[in-house]
Amino acid sequence: MPSQKSDKSLCPPLPGVDRDHQIIRQLDYINRDSEEKMVQIFDMLEDIHAHILEIGETAVRLEAQIGAKRLNRKKLAAEIGKLERESGEASDNIIAIMDMLQYQDFHRQRIERVVNQMRGVANYIQVLFASEIDDSRRSSSAHFIQGDEADEDLMSEEEMAALVEAYNEELR
């Protein structure tokens, strides 16, 4: 069995396939970009959530101070209640967004799994068809049988296609 080479030499791109059309490369890019954006969003949501919790704690402290001092209690209590409600709604919305992001991350992981399976298949096929003979030393496909010297002995492309078609007709 031939020795294992780096991933690049095991699975070189096919002629005519540029980097922008390589499936695994595209899926890797999607995963990487998706993961980076998701981490940024989670960080921002965690910061917002922490601020909202601070607002709620401040509202509770203010309410306690107002109750102790009995300062224009009705008006301030209404404002504090409004702060608590808004803080609770915002916190609930952020938790819902985090749930959605976890769902998106689940899909990213599924894409990642497909990429890994495709790479495994590509590597398996590469190993399956590996040879110790370098392609540059491999004999090329024959265009004519050795010994044919005259051009009239050679079959044209059209004649070859007709011969193959006739053979296929006999098999049917």
Which H/E stretch holds residue 54? helix 23-69
Q: Which tens digit of pLDDT belongs to each residue from 123-137?
A: 888 888 888 888 777
Q: Which tens digit of pLDDT belongs to each residue from 62-97?
A: 778 777 775 677 777 777 788 888 888 888 888 888
pLDDT for 116: 87
3-state secondary structure at position 86: helix
pTM metric for this prediction: 0.45
Rg of the chain on CA atoms, in Å:
35
For the chain, the structural domain boundaries read: 8-132
Stretch 10-37: mean pLDDT, rounded? 73
pLDDT for 50: 86
pLDDT of residue 4 exceeding 50: no
Stretch 109-134: mean pLDDT, rounded? 86
From the list 49, 45, 56, 54, the residue with the least C-alpha distance to 85 is 56
